[in-house]
Amino acid sequence: MKLFRHAAELMQWRRENRLLSVGFVPTMGALHNGHISLIKKAKSENPLVVCSIFVNPTQFNNADDLKRYPRTPEQDLAMLAAAGCDAVFMPDEAEMYPAPPQMRLNFGNLEEVMEGAHRPGHFNGVGLVVSKLFHMVQPDRAYFGQKDLQQFLIIKRLVADLSFPVQLVCCPVVREADGLAMSSRNVRLSADARLQAPALYRALTEAQQRIAQGENPQTVCSEITRRLNETGIFSVEYLTLADTETLASVQSPQAGMEYALCIAAFLDGVRLIDNVVFRM
């Protein structure tokens, strides 16, 4: 497995392999089996797989979250090599941002809800770094997790609006045995918080069942939110039924249509997100 720290080396390697299709998996490291599922999917569809590891400062709206973001580079490289990854791009901040970026991306309504509403500037940072990485890696396909559903839709918009010649693939959420969605941030949970954390997924599945049975989405979401908040352990930022394309909040779901139930909550000072996509 190749390890590149500079874009020029990566691009040289890409030119040498220009006849082979590349599957790309951008990450912020502290890898877990969710990330590895993306690498394996990419490997099954492309002769070459590139993974990037870069904790992107421009997408953090909270300096403490950035400082405390877990970093496990040696373990990440071992996991990637074992999964059959061909090349890893691990730039430092100066490599990605030789000068502070001035450009601002605007994703319209898509960034005004959920993560966009609660993390100002987040998707501008995501859009910038993914654009830079797409230019450097020149992937044929890029793989993202449904765990970050809004991020996937933002990148779909980015690719359409800027005509990036890349096919996007959305991969299912990988969960721990108790239902908790795998996340690099899970290691920051205390032992007790880790035990409570699966309540988020249980909240999503309960809401899904009740909405599918005809209960009012808003009533269900506010009731479950109140119950989680009353534990004193969770602080829910949002729990909403959303349209899977626009992420606009849905009040009257229609039979046969696909919807996403999305949640974000603080638990023990750690912000976790999760979602389920289902058909009514």
Q: Which one is catalytic: 6, 32, 35, 122?
A: 35
Report how many residues bind ligand AMP under the rule CB under 6 A.
17
Q: Which of 124, 183, 208, 240 binds ligand AMP (CB under 6 A)?
A: 183
CA distance 172 to 183: 13
- Closer to ligand AMP by Cβ: residue 29 or 253: 29
Q: Does 60 bind ligand AMP (CB under 6 A)?
A: no
What is the DSSP code (8-state) at residue 94? H
CA distance 279 to 145: 19
Helix (H) or strand (E) holding 241: strand 234-243
The residues near 262 (Cβ < 8 Å, ≥ 6 apart) are 114, 149, 150, 238, 239, 240, 242, 247, 273, 274, 275
What is the DSSP code (8-state) at residue 164? -
Q: Which of 86, 111, 115, 148 binds ligand AMP (CB under 6 A)?
A: 148
Q: Does 28 bind ligand AMP (CB under 6 A)?
A: yes
CA distance 164 to 170: 17
32 is catalytic: no
Q: Which of 14, 35, 43, 122 binds ligand AMP (CB under 6 A)?
A: 35
Q: Which of 116, 127, 145, 217 binds ligand AMP (CB under 6 A)?
A: 145
Q: Of the ranges 9-17, 61-69, 170-178, 187-195, which one interacts with ligand AMP (CB under 6 A)?
A: 170-178
Q: Which of 181, 261, 262, 263 binds ligand AMP (CB under 6 A)?
A: 181
Residues that bind ligand AMP in the complex, under the rule CB under 6 A: 27-28, 34-35, 37-38, 144-145, 147-148, 171, 173-174, 181-184
